[in-house]
Structure 1
Amino acid sequence: MQRRAFLGGIAAATTGATAGCTSAFGGGPEGVVLGPQEDQIADSGDLAYPAYGEPLPAFELRDPIAGIAVDSEAVERTAIVTGVFTSCPAECGILLRRLVGVQRRVADAGLTDETLFLPITFDPERDDEAALRDNAESTGVDLDAGNWHYLRPETRERAKAVVGDRLGIGFERTTESDRLQGYDFTHVVVTLLVNPDGVVERAYRGERIDRDRVAGDIETVVEAFAGE
């Protein structure tokens, strides 16, 4: 994501303060809008994945449905980033349906053009274009809104490099599972809220995210950056 000056000027700094940004006054990390995340389980630097106040590691991946490549460093919107696999029989389906609820709330707030949803599959073998389209239909994703992109690494190795190593969203392939035939994954469920400057505002753990909370956090970040 392009790094831009955060809320430059005195008036903008005041806006950042009322939105919970402590960096303008030396009380927290720079480049954030929201205040510290109270339910974060450890200091950001001690977590495997990027958390509050840390930069989102750069990546470039293809959306096979839209036929485009998404470069995280070129994104200038507030973004939701997570790792999933669509044949997951439990947690990923719950998470994706809840993110669809967030997408709808964002639309109701008139912020569709200011946001991006970027679920990254770490199962490129099964998650081809057809599987991703099926998932969008079954979970209710509004692909026509233009703010939802399923991202697919080309290989298992690339998936590990981006999702596991770079983003720190750990996963492990296993053939010892009663849930799926062939293979399954044990994995961490983390969803990142990233501001337009590429700084992580929130790292929500677990699949049962609070849709109203996430939508509210998105709206706060979008409104703060709208004043730039």
Structure 2
Amino acid sequence: MQRRAVLGGIAAATTGAVAGCASVLGDEPEGVVLGPQEDQLADSEDLAYPAYGQPLPAFELRDPIAGVTIDSEALDRTAIVTGVFTTCPVECGILLRRLVSVQRRVADAGLTDETAFLPITFDAERDDAATLRENAETIGVNLDSGNWHYLRPETPERAKAVVEDRLGIGFERTTESERLPGYDFTHVVVTMLVNPDGIVERAYRGERIDRDRVAGDIEAVADAFAAE
């Protein structure tokens, strides 16, 4: 599996469509480890975000806590990618806590160094390094493991360009909210499991992801690449 060959020349698009990708219900596309995702909402090419068998659109974003920039094309790990904001009163907190449980399961399986958790905030104004670190402490993220990176676009415009336009995770800033003073977001909740060649193996919808299922999928993909 050649990551650069797969990703080279693929343009990011809000539809997440890629010419030649197989339907989730049809033939299995090249470059995947897992079988078709039976609970996927539609064929991959019909979804707004990259799904089963499609390449993850390239991005470079800063981890303000670790002080490093993550280049998605340079990743050689099985990755979990999602879009969140830490003051989210419901969905993001549930999702992030479940991903923390997955991080622990991955550690128990001895696969910490083979995985990367990449929650991308689309709230560039409030989610600075201090806020993200506080969130990590609150929900129990193991930052010392080196496999969890909160990624922060520099501006709201950059957040829209990467999270919504490129990754297809739609969000909309709202004004004064009964749930949250100042402003809130309505947003899609989707989490992508991406193999080390940059191909999406799973796109889990909703915040209440099955932690055992996700950890098992990660282990299957990581083990398959380790065996090559």
- The alignment's TM-score, normalised by the length of structure 1, stands at 0.89
Deviation at 1:4, TM superposition (A): 6.5
Identity of aligned residues (%): 84
Unaligned runs of 5+ in 2: 7-21
What's the RMSD between the two structures over aligned residues? 1.6
Who is 2:88 aligned against? Answer: 88
The one-letter code of the counterpart of 2:65 is I
Who is 1:138 aligned against? Answer: 138
Deviation at 1:67, TM superposition (A): 0.2
Deviation at 1:176, TM superposition (A): 4.5
Q: Match of 1:193, SS? A: strand
Who is 2:147 aligned against? Answer: 147
Distance 1:51 1:39, change over 3 A: same
Who is 1:79 aligned against? Answer: 79
Partners of 1:173 and 1:128 lie apart in 2 by: 18
- TM-superposition CA deviations, 1:162-217 (whole Å, max 9, x none): 00000000000001421111100000000000000000000000000000000000
Partners of 2:162 and 2:177 lie apart in 1 by: 25
Who is 2:163 aligned against? Answer: 163
Partners of 2:172 and 2:65 lie apart in 1 by: 26
Who is 1:31 aligned against? Answer: 31
Partners of 2:156 and 2:5 lie apart in 1 by: 37
- Is the aligned partner of 1:120 residue 2:125? no
Runs of 4+ in 1 over 6 A off after TM superposition: none
- The alignment's TM-score, normalised by the length of structure 2, stands at 0.89
Who is 2:190 aligned against? Answer: 190
Moved more, 200-209 or 170-179: 170-179
The one-letter code of the counterpart of 1:59 is F
- Is the aligned partner of 1:68 residue 2:56? no
Deviation at 1:27, TM superposition (A): 3.2
Who is 2:14 aligned against? Answer: none
**Is the 2:4–2:73 contact (alpha carbons within 8 Å) kept by the matching residues of 1?**
no
Deviation at 1:227, TM superposition (A): 1.4
Who is 2:9 aligned against? Answer: none
Who is 1:51 aligned against? Answer: 51
- TM-superposition CA deviations, 1:85-133 (whole Å, max 9, x none): 0000100000000000000000000000000000000001000000000
Moved more, 173-182 or 46-55: 173-182
Deviation at 1:5, TM superposition (A): 8.5
Who is 2:214 aligned against? Answer: 214
Who is 2:200 aligned against? Answer: 200
Unaligned runs of 5+ in 1: 7-21
Partners of 2:77 and 2:192 lie apart in 1 by: 14
Q: Match of 2:3, SS? A: coil
Partners of 1:225 and 1:147 lie apart in 2 by: 17
Partners of 1:218 and 1:197 lie apart in 2 by: 14
Partners of 1:27 and 1:85 lie apart in 2 by: 37
Partners of 1:200 and 1:176 lie apart in 2 by: 36
Partners of 1:182 and 1:176 lie apart in 2 by: 5
Partners of 1:78 and 1:160 lie apart in 2 by: 25
Q: Match of 2:148, SS? A: coil
Q: Match of 1:45, SS? A: helix
